[in-house]
A = this chain, B = another copy of it.
Amino acid sequence: MSSKKIKAIDVNCDTGESYGYEKDDDEGLFSIITSANVACGFHAGDPLRMDKTVRLCKDNGVQIGAHPGYPDPMGFGRRDMEITPEEIGLYLLYQWGALEQIARASGMVVKHIKLHGALYNKAARDELLSREIFRLLERIDIDVVLVCPFGSTMYDLAMEYEIRVAGEVYADRAYLRDGSLAPRGTTGAVIADPDKIAERTLEIIRGEIKTLEGFIYKVKADTICIHSDTKGAFGLAEKITKTILEQGISLLPLDKII
C-alpha cells in the first residue's frame, strides 16, 4: 500500500445494464472511459445488448470486462443473497464465459472482471468467498485482472494468489477515516460538483484522500469508477479524465497497468 505518485490510471464504468429491447443511454461514455464492465445477463444485460456493448468497446478502444452479478433481475443485483461461495463461483464462471464467447466472435477478449452490486460488496469483505474466487481464477488460467475496492479484505488477500488485482477508488463518493464509503444518506456523501470531482481526482492521483472527518486516507488507485446513471455523468467523466491528463498521468486500460 504505497502513496507514491502513479503514472497511469484507468477509468471504468458499468455498462450494458438494460434488458430486452430497452435503450441504454451510456453510449456517449465510451469515448471517455478506458474500461467497461459489461452486465452479463443475471442482474441485467441480455446477449444482444452484450454484443452491442462489445462492439462499442471495440470501436472506441475500450477494454472489456465481465460484470457478473446475483441472479436477481427484479432487484438489479443490489440485494444480498445467501448463496454459498461454490455457487457464486459457478455463477461467475457462467457469466464470464458467456461474455467471453460473445466478445470472441468480435475478435475481442475479456480482460477484467468486476463483480456487481451486492455481490461486489459481499466479496470485498468476505474472506471465504474471496478465496473461492481466487482459486477459480487460478484454475481457469485465463489472463484477467480482478477489480475490487482498494484496501478491502479481498484486495489485501489477493496479493497471496497468483492473480492480477486492481484497486478501485470512487471519484464521486466521500470516504470515511477507515477507508469505507460514507453512507449515501450522510451530508456530502455523494460528490456531483464538477470542481469537487476534479479536486477529488487530484487527491486520488496524489494518493491522499481527505475523509469526511478531515483525516487523510492513503490510497493507490489503479482505476476510478464512474457511475453512468448519475446526472451529468458525461460531464463528470470528462472532468476526471481531463484532470488526469493535465497531471501528466496516462489514461490506460487496466490490462496495461496491472
Chain A interfacial positions (CB closer than 8 Å to B): 18-22, 41, 43-44, 46-48, 50-51, 71-76, 78-83, 87, 89-91, 93-102, 104-105, 107, 118, 136, 139-140, 142
Contact = CB atoms under 8 A, between A and B. Distances in A.
A250 B180 CA distance: 59
Contacts of A75: 20-21, 81, 83, 87
A150 B122 CA distance: 34
A229 to B, nearest CB: 9
B118 A47 contact: no
Contacts of A41: 94
Contacts of A20: 19, 43-44, 73-76
Contacts of A21: 75-76, 78
Contacts of A73: 19-20, 46, 73
Contacts of A142: 104
A123 to B, nearest CB: 15
A50 to B, nearest CB: 7
Contacts of A100: 97, 100-101
A47 B78 contact: no
A3 to B, nearest CB: 36
Contacts of A91: 47
7 contacts: A20-B76, A21-B76, A75-B81, A79-B81, A95-B98, A96-B101, A97-B104
Contacts of A46: 73-74
Contacts of A95: 98
